[in-house]
Copies of this chain bind each other. A is one copy, B any other.
Amino acid sequence: MAEKVTIATVARHARVSRQTVSNVLNAPHIVRQETRQRVEDAINALGYRANQAARQMRTGRSRLIAARIDPTRDGINGSVLDRFLHGLTETADAAGYRVLLYTATDDDREIATYGDLLGTYELDAFVLVGTKYGDPRTEWLADRDVPFVTFGRPWDALDAHPWVDVDGAAGTAQATRRLLDAGHRRIAFIGWPEGSGVGDDRRAGWRDALRAAGVDPTGLHRETEDGIAEGERLMRDLLLAVAPSAVVCASDSLALGALQAIRGIDPPVAVIGFDDTPVAAAVGLTSVSQPLGDAAARCVDLLTGVLDGDHETPTPVLLQPSLALRHTA
């Protein structure tokens, strides 16, 4: 069994002091070129890696970022988180950080977990996915000056914190415009009950795009909780009430339900979903696609900005979604 290689081993091997080795690692510019080379050679020869625990003890920083992994709720939208987490892991890695997972069943437990993670692991930052009106989690973190980013806007706009989001309104607007361009006029919308930031935003995009084209959106939209059965029910309702020739949905679940409701109708009713989930790809559903890899990368950017001493509050990032065209629209 090989001896443990510490900074002292490297120092001895390169005939310098421990501190010089440390400097080569953390502040290379203050070490003379020749010495630096000698130390780097020793590091490579010995396969030395800085022990994170020891470093953390002195600096108080763990180079660990926490992210929550949810129980896949209805299953369909779960893969969004999946893809986001992968992007996060990849980008964090490149920036020298690692992602630690945690779960929680409700806000209180989640906050308790924050305390635990901060106390025992001295986590550097948190990434929160999804935000709601009056989110107690962001408040707790902000009160304690814990760096964090949310993937999702702070809908309160009470106090600003760094965030990254995808412009949902732009997505539904783009979807609506595509349908308008294809000659559709009676374009309906199936969304979530008023009051959720994300849902209202997506509905607004559809409404504004219609108005801009001189179409009155009145009566053309329906609201429900998310779900396939719900989408199917509301689509049937819309068909009877206003006979739309196309529909934009706030989620792929709803869109999938809509697809089932219109089966057999000719000419086919166009359907566009939201999130570009695997299900959409599988059934050929056109859907608004979020740039999740980019979003994750920008989250890491914002965090490293804060962690590496940028004291100014970083500018929020609003990314543009794109339309994954398939055969339903």
**Is A197 positioned at the interface, with any CB of B under 8 Å from its CB?**
no
- Residue A306, interface by CB 8 Å: no
B-chain residues with CB within 8 Å of residue A54 when the two chains form the complex: 53, 57
Asked if A228 lies at the interface with its beta carbon under 8 angstroms from chain B, I say yes
Instruction: Indicate if the CB atoms of B282 and A52 lie closer than 8 Å.
Output: no
- B57–A53 CB distance below 8 A: yes
Contacting A102 at CB < 8 Å: which of B69, B70, B75, B93?
B93
Interface size of A as a range: 35 or more
A72 at the interface (CB under 8 A from B): yes
B82 in contact with A72 (CB, 8 Å) = yes
**B90, B100, B253: which contacts A98 (Cβ < 8 A)?**
B100
A81–B245 CA distance with the chains assembled, in angstroms: 38
Point out the residues of chain B lying under 8 angstroms from A62, CB to CB. Answer: 53
- Residue interface bits A65-97, CB-to-B below 8 A is 1, else 0: 000011110111011011101100110010000
**Cβ of A119 to closest chain B Cβ, rounded Å:** 3
In the complex, A279 has a CB within 8 A of chain B: yes
Provide the A97-135 mask, 1 if CB < 8 A to any CB of B, else 0. 011111100000000000110011110000000000000
Cβ–Cβ < 8 Å partners of A278 in chain B: 72, 74-76, 78-79, 277-279
- Is A281 in contact with chain B by the CB < 8 A criterion? yes
User: Does the CB pair A85–B56 fall under 8 Å?
Assistant: no
Which residue in B79, B98, B119 is a CB contact (below 8 Å) of A101?
B98
Best-surrounded residue of A56, A64, A101, A119 (most CB of chain B within 10 A): A101
Which residues of the partner chain B approach A281 to less than 8 Å between Cβ atoms? 75-76
- Nearest residue (CB) in B for A98 is B100
Q: Is A50 an interface residue (CB 8 A)?
A: yes
Q: What chain B residues lie within 8 Å of A228 (beta carbons)?
A: 282
